[in-house]
Structure 1
Amino acid sequence: MTESRLLNLLKGKNVVYITVKNEDYIRTSQIKWILTENARKFRIYSSEKGNPLTRAIDIRKKLRSISFEGVDIVIAGFLPQLIWKDLVKHTLGSGIIVIAEMFISLYDTVVLDRRLVWKRGIIAHICKRFDCTVVKETDYIITDTKADADFFAKEFGTGKDREKFETLYLEADLGDYISTNVVLDKNEDENSKIVLYFGTGLPLQGTDYVAKAFNVLAEEYGCNCIYIGGLNNMSRNLKRKLLSCKDRAVRCGKGCITFYEWLDQKKLYKKIESASVCLAGHFDPGIDKADRTIPGKAMIYEALGKTMILGDTKANKEIFEADDKHIFVPRGNSERIVEAVRKAISE
């Protein structure tokens, strides 16, 4: 399945997109504008609940009242595994084409990435069975990288199942924001030493390496570092130092570090706009998923024209090439992050 085939499938069709994610998530927005450009009509059902399980429960409730009459295609998004059984009840034997937008794998995320359960335990087995069921029963599967498509097909399907997969890379649609707020490629002196990172704190992001690099960049090289987001998998000492910077700039040697627990989308984009260099990732060296997925933040940085530091991964190299705007560093090496930032701000 190629991208043109996907778009051809959507052309002039009545499509329902059901996602176990929130409305303003980057992938939800991307699918929305793809449907706007290609489908005859479409409806989107998402959830604003706080975590995947509560979102899945919310979506399963909504499924009871969704009409599939006259629908040609259903796209089940983000974690279709969590709503698959309920979705099949409404679409089985109806002639509706079902596309799984399999952004993440349950087994890959719960077992291999976050290591929440034993790899050979019953919960790991159940997670893998959910993934296998979707790969087996769906008509087509969308992933965000070729590396993930290869992994999912090998791990959860058969050789023939690889033909079902299509890679649809993330794109950030910031058109309205850019047109009213942003001047791309700003190089004024006041933002020449601002370094920014944002993320949820997932293990594959390697936030320890970000925090270590920020300490050196602020203390020794006078950079003003901005950290936005989660600290769940950060070591205690590094977390304590960042929390001391919450919502205010704390002087650290020559520069400073500012920590924000959360910013709304508009404020986040403004912070990114102010930065000279942005850290994208993924930086964890021990998680295979880090090598197979492209950070969503990288697509936002790209849309805003920012210089970024990327983990040297198979997935990142599927769409980015090394140049003065895209600087690759080995995973698991905070010193190389520092070196890359210094090089970027000195040019």
Structure 2
Amino acid sequence: MVKKERYKEKFMFQELKNKKVLFITTKNLDYLRNTQELRLLREQAAQVSVIGVKDKSYPLRLIKVFFKLLFTSCKKYDVVFVGFAPQLIVPFWSFKFKRSELYIDFFISMYDTLCFDRKKFSPDSFAGKRLLNIDKKTLRQADKIICDTKAHGNYFAQELGAHPEKLQVLYLEADKSIYYPRHGEKPQEARGKFTVLYFGSVLPLQGIEVVLEAMNRLKDDPNFCFYFIGPIGQDIQKPQGKNIHYRHWLSQDELAQYIDFSDLCLAGHFNAEIQKAKRTIPGKAYLYHAVGKPMILGENLANHELFSEQEKGIYFVEMGSGEKLAEKIKKIANIGR
């Protein structure tokens, strides 16, 4: 079982019982975190109004959200809840929220993500310092700060000055109308083989090079079938073999089917150099768990907040090593035979 701390989320949202809430997000409305928070808000609040749009273009979404905010009176709301990326809303619009409690979902630090995760800016550069100031200002203005793990919350408190008493953890949750055990049949190419799945958006902290190295080490073993789902660039060398199959991307329903017929799913994160990878639980882990699939997680504090090897089908591996990951996959496959 997932550890009980996960269920504190419903206690937290009881604070909003019978209140009028304005929910604001710059992320697409069907984004997993948005749908989860809106569901929980609607279970408790007396009224939930939403400012958000469905456009695929992020700049266009941001412009439309700003336009709607310009003509929205926030005085009638007890709580303003800013979802994904409050750094794009709070520093510019906080004057409209003065009569309401301000809740923010500080899902990511822009400073951490752009300076240390994706390395777009140096922390000491003008842009890096500006990002740090925006993060700190956003956290300072909030009355309640929602984060995705305790480890991430500790980072926000220690490095960005978030007040510890404002922090509350809300773990992600899979959409169970899509991700559930289906017991479907494997494709012809995977039948009779131990099928291993990985999917991801190929962000640096995910450590896809570790996954690809593990696949390369096992590519000649006819007992395995690997599926890698994600947009791998041409600059990345992909191992090739009869038992390795690549898919650029899939719809959520198709992805759920692939997860369902797999014997083992790789969750991660596997990058050992980026500290953020050790403070966050990969979103795919929640999907795998909802479908009831065995999975391999990176050995870190964040993953241990919810998952334990005492639970059937949960395995941990040293981060940063394709060799260790390949060994773990082989060991699990042998256990299953």
Match status 1:302 vs 2:289: yes
How far does residue 44 in structure 1 lie from its aligned partner after superposition?
A: 3.0
Q: 2:277 aligns with which of 254, 274, 290?
A: 290
How far does residue 217 in structure 1 lie from its aligned partner after superposition?
A: 2.8
Give matches, 1:218-297, under 5 Å: 218-231=219-232, 236-238=236-238, 241=239, 252=241, 255-297=242-284
Match status 1:314 vs 2:301: yes
Aligned partner of 2:218 in structure 1 is 217
Aligned partner of 1:182 in structure 2 is 182
After superposing the two structures, state which structure 1 stretch, 207-216 or 328-337, moved more. 207-216
CA 1:133–1:344 in 2, change beyond 3 Å: closer, same or farther?
same
Match status 1:199 vs 2:204: no
TM-score of the pair, normalised by structure 2: 0.88
Give matches, 1:1-347, under 5 Å: 3=9, 6-50=12-56, 53-92=59-98, 94=99, 96-157=100-161, 161-175=163-177, 178=180, 182-183=182-183, 190=191, 193-231=194-232, 236-238=236-238, 241=239, 252=241, 255-323=242-310, 324-346=312-334, 347=336
SS of 1:56's equivalent in the other structure is helix
2:262 and 2:36 map into 1 onto residues whose CA distance is 25
TM-score of the pair, normalised by structure 1: 0.86
CA 1:164–1:216 in 2, change beyond 3 Å: closer, same or farther?
same
Aligned partner of 1:245 in structure 2 is none
How far does residue 226 in structure 1 lie from its aligned partner after superposition?
A: 1.1
Identity %: 36
How far does residue 88 in structure 1 lie from its aligned partner after superposition?
A: 1.1
How far does residue 36 in structure 1 lie from its aligned partner after superposition?
A: 2.6
One-letter amino acid of the structure 2 residue matched with residue 90 of structure 1: K
Q: Which runs of 5+ in 2 are unaligned?
A: 1-7
2:317 and 2:46 map into 1 onto residues whose CA distance is 44
2:204 and 2:61 map into 1 onto residues whose CA distance is 22
Q: Deviations over 1:222-266 (max 9, x none)?
A: 32211111335x95323xx5xxxxxxxx7x1xx422222221111
One-letter amino acid of the structure 1 residue matched with residue 21 of structure 2: V
1:140 and 1:289 map into 2 onto residues whose CA distance is 22
One-letter amino acid of the structure 2 residue matched with residue 37 of structure 1: E
CA 1:55–1:207 in 2, change beyond 3 Å: closer, same or farther?
farther
One-letter amino acid of the structure 2 residue matched with residue 172 of structure 1: A
One-letter amino acid of the structure 2 residue matched with residue 328 of structure 1: F
Structure 1 residue runs of 4 or more that deviate by more than 6 Å after TM superposition: none
Contact 1:145 1:315 in 2 (8 A): yes
